[in-house]
């Protein structure tokens, strides 16, 4: 079972898998809810913390990579026109840092939300606090929904399930 939690931890740490996908998949797959939620939260949080700590080096690496692609030039308008970047910019414009931290993980991913929050003007400390709160909140919501939601809605041999009871 320890290997299972290691896989959950590592997958939650990978951008675009994160807690939003891993927690429901693991719980539906039969892994106990509480350890899954904690493990996925810690895996996702670790990479967010590392990203925030090393954001300057990451930005320099991205700039260098874009220069290589464009033959030495960085076209900022082209670099900032991705759909995810536009969505994050819209969330930032409407709701600020708290909105990007709490809504962003579902639209652009938690890692990109944290990186863009810092590039849009969020401080490291506030970004870390809000991203931690967001990951914790979503981990709990998704874990509870996956655990109770499927038990609640689906029937088993002793229980008819919510939908069947409702229709009787």
Chain segment 40-80, per-residue pLDDT in tens: 999 999 999 999 998 888 778 878 888 888 776 555 545 44
| Residue 15, phi then psi, degrees to nearest 5 | -55, 140
Domain boundaries, position 140: 2-167
Assess whether pLDDT exceeds 60 at residue 151: no
Mean pLDDT of the chain: 83
What's the mean pLDDT in 6-18?
Answer: 92
Give how many domains the chain has, as a whole number: 1
pLDDT on residue 34? 95
Do the Cβ atoms of 80 and 60 come closer than 8 Å?
no
């Amino acid at each position: 079972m320890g290997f299972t939690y290691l896989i959950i931890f590592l997958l939650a740490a990978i951008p675009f898998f994160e807690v939003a996908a891993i927690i429901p998949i693991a719980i539906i797959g039969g892994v106990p809810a509480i350890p899954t939620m904690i493990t996925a939260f810690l895996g996702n949080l670790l990479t967010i913390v590392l990203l925030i700590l090393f954001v300057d080096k990451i930005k320099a690496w991205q700039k260098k990579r874009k220069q290589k692609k464009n033959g030495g030039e960085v076209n900022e308008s082209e670099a900032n026109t991705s759909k995810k970047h536009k969505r994050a910019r819209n969330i930032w414009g409407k709701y600020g840092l708290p909105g990007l931290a709490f809504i962003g993980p579902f639209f652009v991913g938690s890692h990109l939300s944290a990186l863009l929050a810092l590039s849009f003007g969020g401080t490291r400390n506030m970004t870390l606090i809000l991203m931690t709160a967001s990951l914790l909140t979503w981990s709990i919501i998704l874990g509870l929904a996956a655990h109770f939601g499927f038990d609640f809605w689906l029937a088993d041999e002793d229980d008819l399930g919510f939908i069947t009871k409702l229709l009787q």
